[in-house]
Amino acid sequence: MNMTFTMPALGPLMPEILLVCMAVFLIIVDLIYPRNRELLTQITLMASVGLIAILLNQDSATTFGGMFIVDPYSIFFKIICLGGTAITALLSRQYLDVEGIREGEYYSLMMFSVVGMMVMVSATDLIVVYLGLELMALSVYCLVGLLKSDSRSNEAAVKYFLMGGFSSAILLFGISLLYGLTGTTGLTEIANYCSETNILANPALLAGFALVLSGFCFKIGAAPFHFWTPDIYQGAPSSMSAFMSVVPKAAGFAVLGRFLITGFPELHGNWDMLIAAIALLSMAIGNIVALSQRNIKRMLAYSSIAHVGYALLGFLPGTTEGYSASMSYLFIYGFMNMGAFAIVILFCTSDNRRESLDDYKGLAKRNPIAALLMLIFMFSLAGIPPTAGFIGKFYLLKSALAAGYTYTVLIALVFSAISAYFYLRLVRYMYMEDPQDEFTATYSPGLTAALAISTLGVIGIGILPGSLLSWASKALIGL
Amino acid sequence: MIPLSWYMALAAILFAIGTYGFLIRRNIIIMMLSIELMLNAVNINMVAMSHYLDSLTGHVFTLFIITVAAAEAAIGLGLIIVLFRNKKSVYVDQINELKG
């Protein structure tokens, strides 16, 4: 066996290395200035925004023997991850004060999970995918359980940990089968091997493929692997629910996309119906179960399952148009869901978390601005023009329809119509019912900024969607 | 030499036992052990295939899996201890505040 060792080029890895340094730096800052509560938020914010600026100017490159790639596709998803982190940092300030969470580890763990996601998004080898995935997941388990004295948060963390560990084991077993059959863990090499030999008909390869696919579906929370989502979103700290519903999901989609596009383009005829079934089942379960929820975080969790279903529709056609629609949808979804969770955090006070739908009754009378913003986010989640949610859904359905998945699109439209009921029910509660208590929201600067960014994103993309879509389709060139 | 298929069968059986244990047992610590069993089934698979294919990738992957499993166990046990402090139980049947 030929053994040589050369130091790989670290240049393409610079953003990740910087972020690890920032995560460690945050712990040190917390140690030196334990009383300075604003500083950590500001450092997290500056690190995320600064890295977005670096990423926008980063050139495409590969390193570590082709295991790690920087391409426009990965940069697109890294920007979603970092943008989501920046908004979460803005949201967190007020929430952490209300809940009394000690800060240092919160921001630091968040940074580490983002490093995991960035590694995952850039990975072209299943080993690197797994390592990134675990770094992300392990950090998020801790973040979910951060409310140490709250038994619901403990329960959510343990449930998430067990489900996450189980799904990782399934994913790994699938990877081991793929490795055994193709002799490699690189996605490009797997694709080459599959096109050179007629291994695609081998049932073991299909089993491995299905196991890996289920592992990824667990991570993005698609039905029938969704059942952890509502419990974890409800029990986790609200700022973490916002983070989890957007950022790890986007990273999971990036890996799933790369796995399907780069690794198994030849199996497209096999996996498109599978993805269609998963997407429709996610929409069905997400939208129908959300109808009966009385807790807003649970409702948003089921809505996020449904949105995963919509976003998966873009994978069906296997065309650039479809993938770019999925990517833009994830980008848009980030804004609208972060906005909705920001409102949930706005109403959380130390004596009452106000997570029940009844707490939203008559909101418009006491807090007209918050009610108006919630209305915008709910309209966007339901997909009503002129919000960004409409644009995103429109392009997804258009791409699937153009590729001939007529029935899938029709069923998706029906579920989308059903979803309007529970989004608009909240709007009705806010505007047409009498207030329950005398609560008036206080807006901290961070939360105001987060709400402003989300609203601008939702309205801005809704009115001018062109640049986002062209950015997403450019990101797919060369994949 | 023992043929590869025996190792793969062993791995598949261990993985199935682990899955069964995870789904059937109600004690969180046993559930965690079942996950470890599943991961070790993967390790056996990887090492056997790596030897059979004469490629190092599987060996390296196994080392990574062992490392990550250790980190996972540390975090998992930490979470379970925090849960036990509040609930005085590690049985999933009694941990059912979140539902609906």
**A290 CA to chain B: closest CA distance, Å?**
10
- C-alpha to C-alpha distance for A61 and A45, rounded to whole angstroms: 27
Task: Summarize pLDDT for A46-81 with one digit per residue, the tens.
Answer: 999 999 999 999 888 898 888 999 999 999 999 999
For chain A, say whether B95 makes contact (Cβ under 8 Å): yes
CB-CB under 8 Å, B38 with A157:
no
What is the predicted pLDDT for the residue at A171? 96
**A153 CA to chain B: closest CA distance, Å?**
9
What is the end-to-end Cα distance of chain A in Å, rounded? Answer: 32
For chain B, say whether A201 makes contact (Cβ under 8 Å): no
Q: Quick one: CATH architecture of B4-92?
A: Orthogonal Bundle (1.10)
Domain extent listing, chain B: 4-92
For chain B, say whether A154 makes contact (Cβ under 8 Å): yes
More confident residue, A387 or B99: A387
**B78 CA to chain A: closest CA distance, Å?**
9
What is the predicted pLDDT for the residue at A2? 59
- Portion 71-90 of A in contact with B at CB < 8 A: none
Task: Summarize pLDDT for B21-51 with one digit per residue, the tens.
Answer: 999 999 999 999 999 999 999 999 999 999 9
For chain B, say whether A433 makes contact (Cβ under 8 Å): no
* CB neighbour class for B94 (10 Å; exposed up to 12, middle 13-18, buried from 19): exposed
What is the predicted pLDDT for the residue at A103? 66
Measured between CB atoms, which of B31, B35, B95 is closest to A155?
Answer: B95
Interface mutation target, options A154, A229, A422, chain B, most CBs of B under 10 Å: A154
Cβ-Cβ contacts under 8 Å for A207 (sequence gap 6 or more):
A174, A177
Task: Summarize pLDDT for A207-219 with one digit per residue, the tens.
Answer: 999 999 999 999 9
Partners of residue A174 in chain B, C-beta under 8 Å: none
CB-CB under 8 Å, B76 with A161:
yes
Chain B residue with the nearest C-alpha to that of A168:
B39
For chain A, say whether B33 makes contact (Cβ under 8 Å): no
Q: Is this prediction's pTM over 0.80?
A: yes
Measured between CB atoms, which of B42, B64, B82 is closest to A127?
Answer: B64
For chain B, say whether A176 makes contact (Cβ under 8 Å): yes
- C-alpha to C-alpha distance for A479 and B49, rounded to whole angstroms: 30
What is the predicted pLDDT for the residue at A51? 94
Record the tokens describing residue A110, joined without a space: 């968040």
What is the predicted pLDDT for the residue at B19? 96
Helix (H) or strand (E) holding B94: none
Helix (H) or strand (E) holding B56: none
Task: Summarize pLDDT for A177-228 with one digit per residue, the tens.
Answer: 999 999 999 999 999 998 888 888 888 899 999 999 999 999 999 988 998 9
Contact between B56 and A142 (Cβ < 8 Å): no
**A218 CA to chain B: closest CA distance, Å?**
15
Partners of residue B72 in chain A, C-beta under 8 Å: 134, 138, 161, 165, 168
ipTM score here? Answer: 0.96
Task: Summarize pLDDT for B9-18 with one digit per residue, the tens.
Answer: 999 999 999 9
What is the predicted pLDDT for the residue at A441? 81
For chain B, say whether A159 makes contact (Cβ under 8 Å): yes
Averaged pLDDT of chain B: 92
CB-CB under 8 Å, B22 with A176:
no
Chunk chain A into consecutive blocks of 10 residues (it has 479) and report each block's average pLDDT, rounded to whole numbers: 71 92 92 83 92 92 89 94 94 86 84 95 94 95 90 92 95 95 92 87 90 93 90 93 94 94 86 92 94 92 95 90 93 94 89 84 87 94 91 93 92 94 92 82 89 94 89 83
Task: Summarize pLDDT for A13-51 with one digit per residue, the tens.
Answer: 999 999 999 999 999 998 888 877 788 889 999 999 999
What is the predicted pLDDT for the residue at B100? 67
